[in-house]
Amino acid sequence: MKLRPELIGVKVEVVKDYPVYYGDKIVVIWKKGEEGIITGIEIGYNSPSSLFIESSGVKCEISQIQFEKHFIVLKDIEKPTFKPTTFEEGLKANPRLFQCLGAFACDMQNRLDVKAEEKGGWSNWRKNCTQEYLYRKANEHFNEINRPGRLYSEVIKECADTANYLMMIADSIRTKE
């Protein structure tokens, strides 16, 4: 079995009892028939690859050899992909991710409002801003993020400014299609 990143999230079934060790002590035995989920994959450079599997709240790292002896993939790669169509659906499906997205979207909006006041609005940005200008401004703000001695609040503002210019680039490309 070749380990592939798309196996993350796929269900597996224990086909032979598998002891989970903590140090040299067995802490639990996954029983034949029990199901688990692959939560991660590590592909070693000079060592065997490992999978990280969780079952009944127990997480452990399993070498590829042990995996092949004790587990079978129940649904090979055909895991369902949920693509939320609304922010509310996304928030329900992945609360932490969508809370971060919502907070960052607010940061972006706040920065757009501040810049709009300084520049007299954004209504003509498509007409007044060339692609080269947008790329240059995105790059300038991106380079400001790593400047030493920045306060966290300043870094967040630069991230939002960078994202706003990237959004404008994406929007201008989208409208050309």
Residue with more model confidence, 166 or 2: 166
pTM of the model: 0.51
In whole numbers, what is the pLDDT of the chain averaged over residues? 80
Domain boundaries, the chain: 5-73, 87-176
Q: Are 18 and 35 in contact (CB under 8 A)?
A: no
Q: What is the mean pLDDT of residues 79-107?
A: 77
Neighbours of 48 (CB within 10 A): 13
Q: Which residues contact 117 (CB under 8 A, 6 or more apart)?
A: none
Q: In this model, does residue 34 exceed pLDDT 90?
A: no
Q: What is the CA radius of gyration of the chain?
A: 24
Q: Are 53 and 34 in contact (CB under 8 A)?
A: no
For residue range 43-61, list pLDDT tens digits in order.
665 555 777 788 777 778 8
Residue 82: predicted pLDDT: 63
Exposed/middle/buried for 55, CB within 10 Å: 0-12, 13-18, 19+?
Answer: buried
Separation CA 126–CA 172 (nearest Å): 7
In this structure, the strands spanning 50-55 and 18-22 are unpaired
CATH of domain 5-73: 2.30.30
Beta strands, E only, 6-103: 11-14, 18-22, 25-30, 35-42, 50-55, 58-63, 71-73
Separation CA 168–CA 41 (nearest Å): 36
Alpha helices in 8-151, H assignment, sequence order: 64-70, 87-93, 95-119, 125-128, 131-145
